[in-house]
Amino acid sequence: MSLKTHITTNAVSLFARNGIRRVSMDDVARKANVSKRTLYDFFKDKEALLIEVLKEIRKPFIEYFSVWERRPDTALEIILLFNEKMIEKPTVLCDNFFEDVMRYPEALKILLEGKRLFLEKVVELLKRGEKEHVFMSDINYDIISLFFQKQMPSAGTSEVYARYTHEEVHNTLFFIFLRGICTDTGRDILDKFVVKKKYRNMSGDSSQ
**pLDDT range class, residue 86, cuts 50, 70, 90:** confident
DSSP 93: P
DSSP 11: H
Write the pLDDT tens digit of every residue in 18-44: 989 999 999 999 999 999 999 999 999
* Four-residue CA torsion sign, 183, 187, 188, 189: positive
Write the pLDDT tens digit of every residue in 117-155: 888 888 999 999 999 999 999 999 888 888 877 665 554
Q: What is the mean pLDDT of the chain?
A: 85
**pLDDT range class, residue 194, cuts 50, 70, 90:** confident
- Model's pTM, two decimal places? 0.76
43 vs 73, higher pLDDT: 43
CB atoms within 10 A of CB 93: 19
Q: How many helices (H) and strands (E) does the chain have?
A: 11, 0
Could you give the 3-state DSSP secondary structure of residue 182?
Answer: strand
| Structure confidence at residue 47 (pLDDT) | 96
Distance (Å, whole) CA 15 – CA 9: 10
Distance (Å, whole) CA 150 – CA 115: 10
206 vs 37, higher pLDDT: 37
